Amino acid sequence: MHDPESEHMPAAPSKSQRKRDSTALQDVGAELVKLSSERLARLELPDALRAAVLEARRISSHGALRRQMQYIGRLMREVDAAPIVAQLAELRGESAEAKAAFHALERWRERLLADDGALTDWLALHPGGDAQALRQLIRNARREAAEGKPPRASRALFRILRETAGSPAEPGQ
């Protein structure tokens, strides 16, 4: 007997696909467990999931940890995991916004090293910036580049720019 209603209903995922999805969510949970306390605190997580992740960090027994990771996977199946995955991608710098912010800060660093007037523009956009520290790092970075030394000051300049800007950086700059 042919049922016309069954033609329009989507097929349920196979057992293998459900297993792959479950394992992927456990992997996301494992990544949450490995995060530093500071980064974990910045993520928006359901309370039960956050408590389970913190508990997993405390566990040292292999078997108990494995069971806790399975529990975290089960909790992940009960919530919408897409926002959590997106937040983790942002932390890893894999999101489009994070990449754009990173490249914008790189352009600012190059501009600051090439043009003395760029510091005035940066400080106009970020009044909380430390002008003296930035000038010194720019001067040191230029000297290191001229002498062919490792770009230690250039890296420090980038870190200060990132801290001052607070992600994301201004688009178009």
- Tell me: pLDDT of 64 over 90: yes
Look at residue 16 in the predicted model and tell me its pLDDT.
Answer: 87
- Tell me: pLDDT of 169 over 60: no
- Tell me: pLDDT of 79 over 90: no
- Domain range 14-92, its CATH number among 3.40.50.2000, 1.10.60.30, 3.30.470.10, 3.40.630.30: 1.10.60.30
**Which residues make Cβ contacts (< 8 Å) with residue 30, sequence separation at least 6?**
69, 72
- Domain range 96-165, its CATH number among 1.10.60.30, 3.40.50.1970, 1.10.10.10, 1.10.645.10: 1.10.60.30
Secondary structure of residue 96 in the 3-state scheme: helix
Which amino acid is it at 84?
I
Which amino acid is it at 56?
A
Look at residue 6 in the predicted model and tell me its pLDDT.
Answer: 56
What distance, in Å, lies between the first and last C-alpha atoms of the chain? 66
Look at residue 167 in the predicted model and tell me its pLDDT.
Answer: 45
User: What pTM was estimated for this model as a whole?
Assistant: 0.50
Q: How far is CA 6 from the centre of its chain?
A: 43
Instruction: Name the segment(s) of the chain with CATH classification 1.10.60.30.
Output: 14-92, 96-165
